[in-house]
Amino acid sequence: MVGDRIHKLLVGVVPVLLLTSGCTHKYENPITKDTQQPDKVLFDTSIDDIEHGRYERARLTLQTMMNTYDTSEYLAKAKLAVADSWKKEGGAHGMAQAEAEYKDFILFYPNMEESAEAQYKICEMQYQQMDKPDRDNMHARMADAECKDVLQKWPNSKYATAAADLLRKAQEVIAGGEMTAAEFYAKKGGNGYFASANRATSLVDQYPLYSRADDALWIAADDYNQMGDKFDNQQAAMYTRIVRDYPLSLHVDDARKQLRAMGRPVPDADPVQEARMKFELENRKRPGFVSRTLDPFSDRPDVSAAAKSGNPEADAFKPGMPLDVPPSALATSTAGTESRVTISTPARDILNSAPDARATAGTTPPASSDASSSDKSADKPADKPAAGTGPGTPNIGANGAALPTAAQAPEGSPESSIAVTAEHANAANAALAAKRRAQAAKAVKPKRRAKPSDRKSTAPAPTTPAAPAPAAAAPAAKPAGSGGGQ
């Protein structure tokens, strides 16, 4: 029975393997000219090898053609085919070799339309090697630079649209790394609020198309809120940008509420940004079940939420500077000024200050600086013992009786060694308790500051002008002759 199952498995799998092994991948840039010239024959042979995965053999054939027919009309095509063979071979080594070959092709043939294709393939290779946002973003930054070259040098080529799409995805990954750092510092608290606000603000300033830009602004607003009242203007600016530039965000209603609580004007939504966000939400594709299942085990970034419209950022990412950095520490220099650091070495030359060791029978006294420091330490009174560990504290034995201290017990007796051991144990316990108290004090996190809408307003309530009181009625006049008679 087991043999029948194996036979059925082989019958079903073997034909599939044979069919897939016979499949070929067509080359993108063949030469359609029908001729039997020797250089054309060599070129066609190498292209057939590339299509069937024989990359090393194809490169040898192309190299033979370029060395033998150095004036061939197919020379540029052959050089491009060498780069394509490395790219199809794949791997870190193959990608690096392909990039070098493509750059050589652009250098030798800058005016050919294939130069735009070569630059786009460099961009594509860097994009294919990108890691997740929380990992090294070297390839994401390289893809950002290479795709920008396509748009700047060949803006009218057929690869410009595809390069812009890859550029937006690469910038999504770079921005995702900055967002991860901002969230980390925001959870850390304390001085981390300054770093988080700097990361989130710089991220939105340079990558406004980032899919979570509104979340970054919300984090920055909360950071400025925790930093104190003197950052209220920055906090209000973050809420304003959410309402104006990201009108379909989930934070819009809360941002309006905070602006009203702060007494700041609430802006109107930008119709252009509203139309852009609506287009993005309608065309965003949610990853499938298999992709979401395998994502934790993959090193590829998820760029399904990347922008599909809008002009990507043309400048390289420039990180900002946190607000808690003093101006004197900023890396800014003015004309005619130069910052210098002087390192002084203490004068402790024992060879010149100490006497000759041969004259003192091999004993070398300390240097002058060491001697002075030792004298000062000798004059310094001893530290006060910790509570419960001093000589006055009795040491309790196993039977509950007080043991003699080290000073009371005779030297060399068993009681003396027991007393010394007990004193050392008490000192160690006191030091451990002090260390634990210090750690517990550090572990207490400061209380978070409430948002403006959740605070009790200290501003005076708006006063409305009181209505004028009605005029008092004049007393009625007494009739004549009705005065009080006697």
Measured CA to CA, the distance from residue 198 to residue 178 in angstroms comes to 10
Query: Residue 181: is its pLDDT beyond 60?
Result: yes
More confident residue, 420 or 318: 318
- Residues 28-34: contacts with CB within 8 Å, 24+ apart? 28/84, 29/77, 29/80, 29/81, 29/84, 29/114, 29/117, 31/74, 31/77
Instruction: Please tell me what DSSP assigns to residue 396.
Output: E
Host domain of residue 102: 34-108
**Which pLDDT does position 23 carry in this prediction?**
47
**Which pLDDT does position 11 carry in this prediction?**
45
Measured CA to CA, the distance from residue 54 to residue 40 in angstroms comes to 19
List beta partners, residue 395: 403
Measured CA to CA, the distance from residue 292 to residue 299 in angstroms comes to 13
Measured CA to CA, the distance from residue 276 to residue 316 in angstroms comes to 23
Measured CA to CA, the distance from residue 234 to residue 237 in angstroms comes to 5
Q: Please report where in the chains the tokens 């799998």 appear, as a residue.
A: 13
**Which pLDDT does position 146 carry in this prediction?**
95
More confident residue, 486 or 121: 121
Measured CA to CA, the distance from residue 169 to residue 144 in angstroms comes to 9
Query: What are the structure tokens assigned to 242, written together?
Result: 């959410």
128 in a structural domain: no
> Per-residue confidence at 369, pLDDT binned at 50, 70, 90?
very low
List beta partners, residue 293: none
Instruction: Please tell me what DSSP assigns to residue 408.
Output: T
Range in 79-83, 106-110, 127-131, 343-347 with the lowest mean pLDDT: 343-347
**Which pLDDT does position 198 carry in this prediction?**
94
Compute the average pLDDT of residues 144-155: 94
**Which pLDDT does position 19 carry in this prediction?**
42
Q: Please report where in the chains the tokens 């959740």 appear, as a residue.
A: 454
pLDDT, tens only, 289-312: 888 888 888 888 989 899 999 999
41 in a structural domain: yes
Query: Residue 470: is its pLDDT beyond 90?
Result: no
73 in a structural domain: yes
Range in 161-165, 202-206, 478-482 with the lowest mean pLDDT: 478-482
**Which pLDDT does position 95 carry in this prediction?**
94
With beta carbons less than 8 A apart as the criterion, state whether 427 and 232 touch.
no
Distances (CA, A) of 446 to 38, 220, 224, 301, 332: 80, 19, 16, 36, 34
Query: Residue 483: is its pLDDT beyond 90?
Result: no
38 in a structural domain: yes
432 in a structural domain: no
Query: What are the structure tokens assigned to 129, written together?
Result: 């090697």
**Which pLDDT does position 27 carry in this prediction?**
63
pLDDT, tens only, 76-119: 999 999 999 999 998 999 999 999 999 999 999 999 989 999 99
Q: Please report where in the chains the tokens 């996190």 appear, as a residue.
A: 445
The percentage of residues in the chain with a pLDDT greater than 90, rounded to a whole number, is 47
**Which pLDDT does position 468 carry in this prediction?**
57
Identify the top-confidence range among 119-133, 338-352, 401-415, 472-486. Answer: 119-133
Query: Residue 16: is its pLDDT beyond 60?
Result: no
List beta partners, residue 402: 396
Query: Residue 184: is its pLDDT beyond 80?
Result: yes
Compute the average pLDDT of residues 409-432: 70
Instruction: Please tell me what DSSP assigns to residue 162.
Output: H
**Which pLDDT does position 341 carry in this prediction?**
47
61 in a structural domain: yes
The percentage of residues in the chain with a pLDDT greater than 70, rounded to a whole number, is 66
Compute the average pLDDT of residues 445-460: 69
State pTM to two decimals.
Answer: 0.66
Compute the average pLDDT of residues 322-340: 62
- Length of the chain counted residue by residue: 486
Q: Which amino acid is at 67?
A: N
Name the 3-class secondary structure at 133.
coil
**Which pLDDT does position 189 carry in this prediction?**
87
List beta partners, residue 403: 395
Query: Residue 72: is its pLDDT beyond 80?
Result: yes
Query: What are the structure tokens assigned to 21, written together?
Result: 């092994």
**Which pLDDT does position 291 carry in this prediction?**
82
Contacts (Cβ under 8 Å, ≥6 apart) of 266: 243, 256, 259, 260
83 in a structural domain: yes
> Per-residue confidence at 37, pLDDT binned at 50, 70, 90?
confident
Compute the average pLDDT of residues 121-139: 93
Beta strands in 331-423 (DSSP E): 395-396, 402-403
81 in a structural domain: yes
Compute the average pLDDT of residues 392-421: 56
Instruction: Please state the domain count of the chain.
Output: 1
Instruction: Please tell me what DSSP assigns to residue 370.
Output: H
> Per-residue confidence at 154, pLDDT binned at 50, 70, 90?
very high
Q: What is the dihedral of CA 74, 80, 83, 84, to 10 degrees?
A: -100
Classify each residue of 250-282 as buried b or exposed e, where b means 16 or more C-beta atoms within 10 Å of its C-beta: ebbebbbbbbeebebeebeeeeebeebbeebee
Average of per-residue pLDDT values in the chain: 78
Compute the average pLDDT of residues 377-382: 48
**C-alpha dihedral sign at 293, 296, 300, 305:** positive
pLDDT, tens only, 189-240: 888 999 999 999 999 999 999 999 999 999 999 999 999 889 999 999 999 9
